Amino acid sequence: MSVEVLDLHFLEQPSLIASFLVRRGSEVALVESGPGSTLPHLTKALAVHGLSPSDVTHLFLTHIHLDHAGGAGWLAQQGATIYVHERGARHLINPERLLASATRVYGEDKMSVLWGDMLPVPEDKLVVLYNGDTVEAAGRTWTAIDTPGHAYHHLAYLTDEGDCFTGDVGGCGLPGYDHIRVPTPPPDFDLDAWRQSIARLQEHQPKRLFLTHFGERENASSHLERLRVNLDVLTEWMQEQWSLERSREEMIAGYWDWIAEQAKVDQVDEDGIHQYQFVAGATGCVDGYRRYFKKQQEQGE
């Protein structure tokens, strides 16, 4: 049973945000809705497979960030049952705080262009999942794996066929490149939790990974090990900058230069380097680490 990668053409660019389609008979499962701004592209992608949004019966969300879950309420209105981490459910029922937080980060003038509308999910269309819970959908058994690190409300989904839908805890890797980025935005980035989540996924030994940013990775074992190493290397660089008391602006500028060099080592061309900026930009990554280091300092006092 195949997994179809649906390109949502975020900001009218290819290979930035994916939704994943699995179907069997009348059951149609999606992993990730994408943001509200990409719902027209999702509708077109479903039509290629002879489907409409009202045919979607199950929607699995890895977490509630707008690029992954912004369209969930609209799909719930079309009839889909929405599956989400226990800690994310209340923000889907009432997304007011989530939207306010995003507005502070991106600015009110950019919210519509980036994310579109986010409608609430009716409580009777929502299923809360805990670590180890299983769901039978579209001919597969889906197991929810609690995988914090990028966000505390993060799940990966492992099917009985060995496919693992990793959300952001599996990192970002664009088609045609072996380069892996680690998106570490505030407020929930937690280094220790992320390391434990990678180890948890490795223990499950998935065959294939499906990254929301972006697409299929056939050698799951190799990808997860390189992700683990990349997280450690990135942490070393961030810790050095923090210990030198670099300002936020200095760290952001330095990160752009450093990560571009890392990408070139991985044979990423200039177009690819530009594209990676959309899925794991410097500002969010630096801010996530700075907040994490500050919390570590405060807890150590």
Give 222-263 pLDDT, tens digit per residue: 999 999 999 999 999 999 999 999 999 999 999 999 999 999
pLDDT value for 106: 87
Q: Rounded distance, CA 239 to CA 253, Å?
A: 15
Q: What are phi and psi of 186, to 5 degrees?
A: -75, 165
Dig out the tokens for 123 from the structure.
């409580």
Domains and CATH numbers, the chain: 4-300 (3.60.15.10)
- pLDDT tens, per residue, the chain with 301 residues: 699 999 999 999 999 999 999 999 999 999 999 999 999 999 999 999 999 999 999 999 999 999 999 999 999 999 999 999 999 999 999 999 999 988 988 888 899 899 999 999 999 999 999 999 999 999 999 999 999 999 999 999 999 999 999 999 999 999 999 999 999 999 899 999 999 999 999 999 999 999 999 999 999 999 999 999 999 999 999 999 999 999 999 999 999 999 999 999 999 999 999 889 888 888 999 999 999 999 988 887 5
pTM: 0.95
pLDDT value for 1: 64
Helix (H) or strand (E) holding 223: helix 220-243
b/e for 182-216, b at 16 or more Cβ within 10 A?
bbbbbebbbbebbeebbebbeeeebebbbbbbbbe
What is the dihedral sign for C-alpha 143, 128, 36, 152? negative
